[in-house]
Structure 1
Amino acid sequence: MQIAALADPTRRAILAELREAPCTVGRLAAGLPVSRPAVSQHLKVLSDAGLLAVEPHGTRRLYRLAPGGIDELRAYLDALWSDALSSFARRAEEVARIEGKDS
C-alpha cells in the first residue's frame, strides 16, 4: 500500500521534490543526504507503489508524480477520517444522552 511507501522520510522528501518538477536520480540525490544508489532504491519503492511514473530520457530516467497515483491512499485516508468523525459523533450523542438523564 502507498502509505507504507510514505513511511520513510527520504521518500517523502523525494515526493516533495517531484511536486516541483520531474527529476533524474542524479538531481534528486544531489539534494538528499543519501547516496545515489539509495535514492534509486527509494524511487523503486515509490514506483512499485504506483506513486511515480518513469520516463526514459536518453540514457537517463526522468521521474515524475504519477497522475492518480495517490488516489488509493486518498480514498483510504478519506474513509479513515469519515469513520473517525462518525465514531466521534456517536460518542458525543451518547454523552449528551447520559448527561440529559442525569439532569
Structure 2
Amino acid sequence: MKAIFFILFAVIAGITAMAITTEQTTIEPLLTEEITTETITEEPTTFETMPIVGDEYCTWGPSYWCHNKTTAAECDATTYCTNYVWSENTKGL
C-alpha cells in the first residue's frame, strides 16, 4: 500500500513540477519587459456599467414567481404556476 501511495505522490508531484515549469516560461517574457513611463500613464480601460444579476425579483425564477398569487401576477407567471407548481389543493392560493 505504501508503494502505491509513493508512486501516486511522485506522479502528482511530477505533474505539478511540469505545470510550474510551463508557467515560468510563459511569465518570464513579461517580467523582463521594459516598463516605461508611457506604459504606466496610459488611460485605464473603462467598461459600461452592467446591471446587477438578480436585481429584478422576477429573474429569480419559479421559487419567487409562484410564492403567491400576487408575485405570480407581477411576474406574468400565473399560468406557469398553476400548471406546474401549485397542486390542485392550492391553485390560486
TM-score (norm 2): 0.29
Larger radius of gyration: 2
Between 1 and 2, higher relative CO (CA 8 Å, sep ≥ 6) is seen in: 1
TM-score (norm 1): 0.27
